[in-house]
Amino acid sequence: MSITDIENEIVEEFEIFGQDWEAKYEHLIDLGKSLPVIKEERKTEDKLIKGCQSRVWLDSEKKNDKIFFTADSDAIITKGMVALMIRVLNGQGAKDIIESKLEFINKIGLKEHLSPTRANGLVSMINRMKMDALTLSK
Amino acid sequence: MITQKSEHIKLDTELIRKDFPILNRSINNFPLIYFDNGATTQKPNQVIEAITNYYSNTNSNIHRGVHTLSREATEAFEVARKTIASHFKIKNEQQLIFTSGTTDSLNIISAGLSRSVLKNGDEIILSSYEHHSNILTWQLWAGENNGKLKIIPLKNDHSLDYEALEKLITPKTKIIAITHVSNTLGLVTDLTQIKAIAKKHNLIIVVDGAQSAPHMEVDLTELDVDFFVCSAHKIYGPTGTGILYMSEKWLRALPTTKPGGGTIKTVSFEKTEYAEGALRFEAGTPNIEGVIGFAAAINYLNRWGMKIIHEYELGLVNYAQYKLSEIPEVIVYGQSTNKAAVISFNVKDVHPFDVGTLLDKYGIAVRTGHHCTQPLMAILCVPGTVRISFAIYNTKTEIDFFIEKLKKVISMLK
Ligand SMILES: Cc1ncc(COP(=O)(O)O)c(C=O)c1O
């Protein structure tokens, strides 16, 4: 599936929550819980995205010209957001990842998590995903 | 001189809340509950109007012009100094210097002391719960001068280990720089004990009052320390304004390290004669409307007086702490009852960021993170805490709502 297809799928899934933000956040928390954790020994300094209240670790690799991510966070809501990003970008080509706009976040009403003042490291994580994709594609 | 009424009126939060326009806001369709007063308090109409009124009617630079506006602005500024000096029971209002805030004041003090008292290899004592503002400026000096920072440890209940303090002191120790109330734990430092030890060893005492001045009576004559600093914005006043109190001795002795317009008597290219008193430290055009707004805030508080405010807020803290203790998943840091209006806690196995994010959804503003006390976080072995801090407009009803939603948040996160 293309990035846009997955984004649309997520938007559709989130439609059932409507205005019920509590249900939406409960879902986000469940997503966070279901995201596989990175093994402690792999949570090294170079994988840590710094400068945030909640810490985010990102590990990227290339298999058959596709980019794959593993990520973790110590805050569960952040981790839920991380899970969504990974679902959208995992296994895609570098060029598509770099050019992705990730507008689904706005459409599912979670745009506030990308505001630079949120201090949750998501903006930095997306930037890092794109940077890693670029580096790995070379 | 503005005298304080001895007869105080009863503290009626319902009426008080009407003075704070921002409390009418709703956040995410809930009425705003503002529990982040430790970061900054909201401002009453009396302060907002004092600032608007200054700009609409009096705005002019001070201490300079012969014209009417300049005279009026200077007068308003100096009346503000008297008002604030009298609030803090400062005998000579020249001992009250206006700065841009606590951080600025601490930097002026450390710069001055490092050019006078401090010698290579000297030692400065700080507490385990200092705000970064009261660490960095001393650390900077220490790094360049073989200096050493010595830290008063915490006891098991997170209060300071005063017995350990005396053991830290050596002939090289010159200063003890300490916060009056911990901005993270809310614990009140026992300045009587600190003073007794400091006087015995002839140490200079610098008190960071950023979190005490908003919540309790501070009588600087009685306190009798070398320096005391605080920020207006945490006391219902505007941002960018603070005070630096110094003893008569330091008012004369502290070297000028931040010179500029306003601080002088005469200047030639060869030599400058500096002004006396507060002006020597107030370089450049000060935050005039900030100082005037600050005085308005002080007058507002003195309708009730700090004793009544302290009692009221203590009631809120004890109530909230009791309610929090009923939630098994909650860990409160700094269990002592000798607290100002601040409580830090965590939910077991939950990141404070998640708690803060969800509480915000219910319109409740709390602080999460390290609260500019990273060394303390390391001592407590936590990435951060959730902090609630109260002001005169907060109520038990708000605390009840907060507790109800906190329980809900915990059930969502567990
Ligand atoms: C104890 C303490 N010291 C210093 C500061 C710094 O104050 P300001 O940022 O107003 O200079 C604060 C404010 O966060 C504080 O709580």
Residue B133 lies in a domain: yes
Residue B3 lies in a domain: no
Which one of the listed residues A28, A52, A88, A126 is annotated catalytic?
A52
Q: How far apart are CA B258 and CA A25, in angstroms?
A: 51
Domain holding B274, by residue range, is: 48-303
CB contacts of A22 in chain B (<8 Å) are 361, 412
Listed residue (A61, A87, A80) closest to A5, CA to CA: A87
Q: Of ligand 1's atoms, which has the minimum distance to the CA of residue B38?
A: 16
If asked whether residues B35 and B65 sit together in one domain, one would say: no
If asked whether residues B323 and B271 sit together in one domain, one would say: no
Q: How far apart are CA B303 and CA A63, in angstroms?
A: 71
If asked whether residues B116 and B181 sit together in one domain, one would say: yes
Last residue of a domain, one of B303, B321, B349: B303
**Would you call B161 helix, strand, or coil by DSSP?**
coil
**Residue ranges in chain B whose pLDDT is less than 50:** 1-6
If asked whether residues B317 and B296 sit together in one domain, one would say: no
Q: Determine contact, residues B107/B140, Cβ cutoff 8 Å.
A: no
Centre of ligand 1 to C-alpha B371, Å, is 10
Q: How far apart are CA B342 and CA B321, in angstroms?
A: 10
B183 CB within 6 A, ligand 1: yes
Q: Determine contact, residues A76/A33, Cβ cutoff 8 Å.
A: yes
Interface of B with A in 136-175 (CB under 8 A): none
If asked whether residues B347 and B212 sit together in one domain, one would say: no
What letter does residue B8 receive in the DSSP assignment? P
pLDDT in tens, chain A (138 residues): 999 999 999 999 999 998 899 999 999 999 999 988 788 887 888 888 875 778 889 999 999 999 999 999 989 999 999 999 999 999 999 999 999 999 999 999 888 887 766 666 788 888 999 999 999 988
What type of residue is B157?
D
If asked whether residues B285 and B311 sit together in one domain, one would say: no
- In this prediction, residue B7 carries a pLDDT of 54
Q: How many CB atoms lie within 10 A of CB B57?
A: 11
Which one of the listed residues B39, B151, B308, B372 is annotated catalytic?
B372
Centre of ligand 1 to C-alpha B208, Å, is 8
Left (φ > 0), alpha (ψ -120 to 50) or beta: where does B158 sit? left
B135 CB within 6 A, ligand 1: no
- In what side-by-side order are the strands of the sheet with B385-389? B330-333, B342-347, B385-389, B367-369
Residue B112 lies in a domain: yes
B231 CB within 6 A, ligand 1: yes
DSSP line for B260-305? -TTSEEEE-SS-EEEPPGGGGG--SS--HHHHHHHHHHHHHHTTT-
A134, two tokens: 């670029």
- In this prediction, residue B8 carries a pLDDT of 60
Last residue of a domain, one of B245, B278, B303: B303
- In this prediction, residue B285 carries a pLDDT of 95
CB spacing of A75 vs B384 below 8 angstroms: no
B87, two tokens: 């609030």
If asked whether residues B399 and B319 sit together in one domain, one would say: yes
Whether B374 has its CB under 8 Å from any CB of chain A: the answer is no
Last residue of a domain, one of B303, B337, B359: B303
| H or E segment to which residue A66 belongs | strand A66-73
If asked whether residues B126 and B267 sit together in one domain, one would say: yes
Whether A26 has its CB under 8 Å from any CB of chain B: the answer is yes
CA within 13 Å, CB half, B94 = 11
- In this prediction, residue A117 carries a pLDDT of 65
ipTM rounded to 2 decimals: 0.90
Q: Determine contact, residues B124/B150, Cβ cutoff 8 Å.
A: yes
Residue B8 lies in a domain: no
- In this prediction, residue A30 carries a pLDDT of 96
Q: Determine contact, residues B229/B105, Cβ cutoff 8 Å.
A: yes
CB spacing of B353 vs A29 below 8 angstroms: no
**Would you call B192 helix, strand, or coil by DSSP?**
helix
Domain holding A101, by residue range, is: 3-136
Centre of ligand 1 to C-alpha B389, Å, is 14
Nearest to A53 among B28, B350, B384 (CB): B384
If asked whether residues B225 and B235 sit together in one domain, one would say: yes
Number of domains within chain B: 2
Q: Of ligand 1's atoms, which has the minimum distance to the CA of residue B233?
A: 10
Number of domains within chain A: 1
CATH of the domain at A127: 3.90.1010.10
If asked whether residues B314 and B265 sit together in one domain, one would say: no
B212 CB within 6 A, ligand 1: no
